[in-house]
Amino acid sequence: MQDLPQSATEPDGSVVVRVLSYNVRSMRDDVAALARVIRACRPDIVCVQEAPRFFRWRKAAARLARTSGLVYVTGGATASGPMVLSSLRAHVERTEDVLLPRTPGLHQRGFATAVLRFGRARLGVLSCHLSVQDQERYEQGRLLLDQLAALDVPYAIAAGDLNDRPHGRTFGLLADALQDSWAAKPWAREHTTRLGDPLQRIDAIFATEGVEVLGCGVPMGLPGVSERDLRTATDHLPVLGAFRVPAA
């Protein structure tokens, strides 16, 4: 399978960044396989969902970052699951973890957000894991758009487990306001549910206007990403995208 464009800095100051979105199910599965998948994707940014949130969660987050060749940026328990990791290529300007209004009887949800700089290019990043309940999920989609605007940067990426499908109203809300990266430039596999489960695309990466989508999809068949590792790492398939971000 042809790879996505590699990370690069262009002569005009724009940058190519690789972004991975991955629900890791609290690292309850094969963490070594999980790290192998992440390393093989060579991401500059990883938007994690279901990061460890309870006992010694910081130690678990540090372990995932270290074994994946990345560094911890923000999130985890402080965002109720979403987390952001990055390569050393990124300079962290600021971070903020946001807890969302909670419906009684449902899980607490949140956003992990950061503003990262790659040379002259600045990029807002938001990792999310939206509700399983339709109305709460829709309200969280509206808050996601508000939070992206509040980052006050010209370019941003939002990625995560939407618990919704492209025909759903929350997915549609986000796709109307942002670029659905797989729809904009499909690459590799579309569906993100576990191998053997019904085919669904419930994980996605979105980009604001001005960010050029160079390709996005599930990296099945990418050198170093084995089907065995994808099956044992967690219960979701990852989404990998490459993006060109203009200089600020």
Does the pLDDT value for residue 226 go beyond 90? yes
Residue with tokens 């957000």: 113
How far apart CA 112 and CA 151 sit, in angstroms, is: 12
Q: Over the chain, what is the mean pLDDT?
A: 96
Q: If you classify domain 8-245 with CATH, what class do you get? A: alpha beta
User: Tens of pLDDT along 1-45?
Assistant: 789 999 999 999 999 999 999 999 999 999 999 999 999 999 999
Domain chopping of the chain, boundaries:
8-245
Query: Can you give the pTM of this predicted structure?
Result: 0.97
User: Tens of pLDDT along 87-115?
Assistant: 999 999 999 999 999 999 999 999 999 99
Q: What is the pLDDT of residue 216?
A: 98
As given in the structure block, the two tokens for residue 37 are: 């998948």
Strand 8-9 vs strand 110-118: parallel, antiparallel, or unpaired?
Answer: unpaired
User: Tens of pLDDT along 191-225?
Assistant: 999 887 889 999 999 999 999 999 999 999 999 99
Tell me the backbone φ, ψ of residue 184, rounded to 5 degrees. Answer: -70, -40
Q: What is the pLDDT of residue 206?
A: 99
Mean pLDDT of 170-184: 98
Mean pLDDT of 107-131: 98
Q: What is the pLDDT of residue 201?
A: 97
User: Tens of pLDDT along 48-77?
Assistant: 999 999 889 999 999 999 999 999 999 999
Quick one: which of 220, 221, 224, 218 has its CA closest to 205?
218
Within 10 Å of residue 206's Cβ, how many Cβ atoms?
30
Which burial class, exposed, middle or buried, applies to 245 when counting CB atoms under 10 A from its CB (0-12, 13-18, 19+)?
buried
- State the pLDDT confidence band at 151, using cuts at 50, 70 and 90: very high
Which residue stretches of 111-180 are H helix? Answer: 134-150, 169-177
